[in-house]
């Protein structure tokens, strides 16, 4: 199980290997959200993020291993371009998921237990500590998703208004600051890639073609249509930046939650070339 503590140790190693560390904001509980950058700071940037959903913390370990692998095999010179990684966006939610109420302030215990049906097992929790689902909180057709709910819940609550949550705003801020040319959001599970959110031609064909490259690389199925998605980070990137943006659902759908980390052995192999492939795709599109 990969925790915020593990991430902080890995950050020490990764920065000693040449990664730059920055903080993109703070969680509801004031935990700084780290990001790592490798490569140069030319306009060719991509952004990869994970653990927007708490119970999908396996994606944080995947992203950290992708940074190690990319540094070891490519160094920090990609012939132009750089990569931002935000391995764990929803730190408070991940901590709640992994350690239960011990990692939440006592003033919130009654609220959290009430939302969780009285159970102190939070291992299936997806939301942040306010019980808002960050991946429904972005200002992209906010509140229109088919699974949206409108009061605090372990998942699918859109929040009181768009971008109400500091974790949402942290991802928006870094995106507005670096203007990435491609983004990938790691979720779990299903071994699928989502790419569509009302984009028009010529971007529709462009984004589908890059999605096919990722699908061939990872063997994940490329899923057409929005499937009732709204308010997600990928949705917001496509809507406001007109860039190719993808949600990768790692891990075979047969794994139950909480996902056994043994699943990472297969999905790591399938994803190890995703960052460099993503950067090369972004460079080819925007050269
Ligand atoms: Zn998810």
60-103 per-position pLDDT tens digit: 999 999 999 999 999 999 999 999 999 999 999 999 999 999 99
Average pLDDT, the chain: 97
**Ligand 1: distance of its center to the CA of 275 in Å?**
19
**Ligand 1: distance of its center to the CA of 237 in Å?**
16
**Ligand 1: distance of its center to the CA of 187 in Å?**
4
Determine phi and psi for 82, rounding to 5 degrees: -150, 170
Those residues whose beta carbon sits under 5 angstroms from the ion ligand 1 are: 53, 56, 187
Reported as a pLDDT band with limits 50, 70 and 90, residue 22 is: very high
pTM of the shown model: 0.98
**Ligand 1: distance of its center to the CA of 287 in Å?**
32
Determine phi and psi for 135, rounding to 5 degrees: -80, 15
Q: Going from the N-terminus, what domains does the chain have, and what CATH number goes with each? A: 1-202 (3.40.630.10)
pLDDT at 266 over 90: yes
Distance separating alpha carbons of residues 34 and 206, to the nearest angstrom? 31
**Ligand 1: distance of its center to the CA of 279 in Å?**
23
**Ligand 1: distance of its center to the CA of 121 in Å?**
19
- Measured on CA atoms in the order 85, 163, 130, 122, is the torsion positive or negative? negative
**Ligand 1: distance of its center to the CA of 90 in Å?**
11
pLDDT tens track for 143-155: 999 999 999 999 9
**Ligand 1: distance of its center to the CA of 228 in Å?**
14
**Ligand 1: distance of its center to the CA of 260 in Å?**
16
Kindly report the three-state secondary structure assignment for every residue of the chain.
Answer: CCCHHHHHHHHHHHHHCCCEEEEEEECCCCCEEEEEEEECCCCCEEEEEECCCHHHCHHHHHHHHHHHHHHHHHCCCCCCCEEEEECCCCHHHHHHHHHHHHHCCHHHHHHHHHHCCCCCCCCCCCCCCCCCCHHHCCCCCCCCCCCCECCCCCCCECCCCCCCCHHHHHHHHHHHHHCCCEEEEEEECCCEEECCCCCCCCHHHHHHHHHHHHHHHHCCEEECCCCCCCCCHHHHHHHHHCCCEEEEEECCCCCCCCCCHHHHHHHHHHHCCHHHHHHHHHHHHHC
- According to the model, what pLDDT value does residue 285 have? 85
The residues pairing with 47 across neighbouring beta strands, listed in sequence order, are: 84, 183
Q: Which of 176, 186, 162 is nearest to 240 (CA)?
A: 176
**Ligand 1: distance of its center to the CA of 280 in Å?**
26
Reported as a pLDDT band with limits 50, 70 and 90, residue 286 is: confident
- Mean pLDDT in residue range 215-242: 96
Reported as a pLDDT band with limits 50, 70 and 90, residue 207 is: very high
pLDDT at 287 over 80: no
**Ligand 1: distance of its center to the CA of 77 in Å?**
31
Distance separating alpha carbons of residues 15 and 25, to the nearest angstrom? 19
């Amino acid at each position: 199980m990969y925790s915020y503590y593990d991430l902080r140790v890995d950050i020490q190693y990764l920065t000693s290997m040449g990664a730059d560390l920055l903080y993109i904001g703070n969680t509801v509980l004031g935990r700084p959200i780290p990001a790592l950058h490798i490569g140069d700071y030319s306009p060719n940037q991509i952004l990869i993020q994970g653990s927007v959903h708490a119970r999908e913390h396996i994606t944080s370990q995947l992203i950290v291993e992708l940074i190690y692998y990319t540094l070891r095999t490519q160094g920090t010179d990609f012939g132009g371009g750089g990569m931002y990684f935000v391995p764990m966006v929803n730190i408070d939610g991940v901590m709640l998921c992994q350690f239960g109420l011990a990692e939440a302030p006592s003033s919130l215990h009654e609220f959290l237990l009430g939302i969780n049906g009285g159970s102190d097992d939070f291992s299936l929790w997806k939301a942040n500590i306010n019980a808002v689902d960050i991946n429904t909180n972005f200002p992209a057709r906010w509140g229109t998703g088919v699974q949206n709910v409108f009061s605090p819940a372990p998942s699918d609550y859109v929040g009181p208004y768009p971008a109400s949550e500091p974790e949402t705003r942290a991802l928006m801020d870094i995106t507005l600051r670096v203007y990435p040319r491609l983004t990938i959001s790691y979720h779990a599970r299903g071994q699928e890639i989502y790419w569509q959110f009302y984009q028009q031609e010529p971007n529709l064909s462009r984004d589908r073609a890059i999605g096919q490259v990722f699908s061939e690389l990872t063997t994940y199925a490329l899923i057409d249509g929005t499937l009732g998605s709204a308010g997600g980070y990928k949705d917001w990137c496509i809507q406001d930046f007109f860039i190719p943006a993808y949600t990768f659902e790692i891990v075979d759908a047969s794994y139950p939650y909480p996902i056994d980390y043994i699943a990472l052995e297969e999905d790591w192999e399938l994803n190890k070339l995703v960052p460099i492939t993503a950067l090369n795709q972004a460079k080819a599109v925007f050269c």
